[in-house]
Amino acid sequence: MPRVEYTLSFENYLEMTEGRRDAPRIHPTLIFVATGFCLLVAGYGWLQVMPESWSMVGGLLLGFGLLATIFAALLGILSKRKDARPDAATLRREHQRYHSDHRAIEFDENGWRLFWYEGEDLRPWSCLRAIHDQKTLLILATETTYYWLPKADLQRENQFENLKSLAQNALDQHHKLFSVPLRPSLLAYIAAWMTHNWRRHYRGMLLGCAVLTLFFYWLYFANSSEESAHSPWLLAFVPLLVLTVEAVWYGRNYYFSKWAQSPQSIDITLDCIAYRSSAVQQLALYRRLFGYHEFPWGFHLYFDAKHLHLIPKRHFSPDQLIQFRKLLSAQS
């Protein structure tokens, strides 16, 4: 049984915590939105309280508020998210305290055994659910645990390819029925995420639309001496504006997504869905399915309560579509 001893370096730990988010930062877009709203309210209030004196001040407040709001919208569409991470000193202390110990892994065709501190963990290959081949790490994942293995130590002992081959063979044991491309069209992507968002937050979204509609009505019609015959129809502008902004936001996410690094297709098997890309191979078991929804352009799959797995329908044949529905319905 091959045995590889290793120690996770600080560079390995930085890669392990690359997606970590401890304390969310206040995004500059939110600052400009809040500033623009406050300036608009202040300018409107100034013009209502003192319409005859210093009206230029109210006009300037309204103008700067409008500019801040427009700039916030552009900034939100064009900017990329930034994750908040602890500073390097904090990460180094965490690494030295929890991940700098001497470890070892043994493996054969039956499974692997990991040694650390005074404990050990034995796992058969049948419990493997994912492989992540990252820059400095090879990660073996079960349903509950990630095993972080430095590639440099595995390659030094000439065991990297052996271990990865055994892991890949374990994931390939599931009988494939058919494969379908995974990348959705822009319309399917926007429709899927808008449906997902409204299903989860429909109370908040409806309340927000109602508040914006009332504010729009107060802002533009409260001081009208004679309301025009078609003015009530203008209230439909606010919900349409909310839907348009949401669609633009998801369209922006679609074009900023790193599709080249994502799985290009999935394998449908009798007991799971296999995702495969150049860096990741992962199994999603039907028995772990939390829920699913079908809409005209695809399927929403939930393997937990929050995260959406989108599978577009346009590349399914009619027989494959029927077969996939049966596989999903058998788990409900």
Residues 317, 318, 324, 330: what is their CA dihedral angle, to the nearest 10 degrees?
-170
Number of domains in the chain: 2
Report, as an integer, the average pLDDT of 19-24. Answer: 54
Assess whether 154 and 229 both reside in one domain.
Answer: no
Q: What is the DSSP letter of 297?
A: T
| Closest to 258 measured CA to CA, from 241, 280, 236, 230 | 280
Instruction: Report the pLDDT value the prediction gives residue 201, as an integer from 0 to 100.
Output: 81
Asked if residue 255 and residue 207 are part of one domain, the reply reads yes
46 domain-assigned: no
Express each pLDDT in 190-234 by its tens digit.
Answer: 999 998 888 888 887 777 777 777 666 666 655 555 544 445 566
Q: Is residue 49 part of a domain?
A: no
Regarding whether 225 and 322 lie in a shared domain, the answer is: yes
Final residue before a domain boundary, out of 173, 196, 215: 173
How many Cα atoms sit within 13 Å of 188 on the Cβ side?
A: 18
Paired residues of 120 in beta bridges: 115
How far apart CA 42 and CA 29 sit, in angstroms, is: 20
Listed residues 173, 197, 212: the one ending a domain: 173
For 3, the 3-state DSSP assignment is strand
The pLDDT tens digits of the residues spanning 236-264 come to: 677 787 788 889 989 998 988 888 878 88
Alpha carbons within 13 A on the beta-carbon side of 46: 17
Structural domain of 292: 175-332
What DSSP string runs through 114-147? Answer: EEETTEEEEEEGGG--EEEE-SSEEEEE-SS-EE
Q: Does a structural domain hold residue 263?
A: yes
CA–CA gap between residue 30 and residue 283 (Å, rounded): 38
Within a domain: 246: yes
Kindly write down the DSSP assignment for every residue of 221-257, as one continuous string: HTT-SS--TTGGGGGGHHHHHHHHHHHHHHHHHHHHS
Decide if pLDDT at 67 tops 90: no
- Tell me the CATH number at 153: 2.30.29
CA end-to-end span of the chain: 42
| 81 domain residue, yes or no | no
Q: CB within 8 A of 319, min separation 6: which ones?
A: none
- DSSP codes of every residue in 147-180: EEEEHHHHHHTT-HHHHHHHHHHHHTTSPEEEEE
Say if residue 196 is in the same domain as residue 232. yes
pLDDT, the chain, mean: 81
* 163 and 185 assigned to the same domain: no
Q: Which of 32-46, 237-251, 273-287 is predicted with the least confidence, judged by mean pLDDT?
A: 32-46
Based on the fold, state whether residues 162 and 184 are members of the same structural domain: no
Q: What is the mean pLDDT of residues 61-75?
A: 74
- For residue 76, what pLDDT band results from cuts at 50, 70 and 90? low
Rounded to the nearest 5 degrees, what angle is found at the Cα of 156, between the Cα atoms of 150 and 161?
75
C-alpha span between 309 and 48 (Å, rounded): 50
Q: How far apart are CA 108 and CA 93, in angstroms?
A: 35
Q: What is the pLDDT of residue 234?
A: 61
* Partner residues linked to 141 by β-bridges: 130, 146
pTM, to two decimals: 0.68
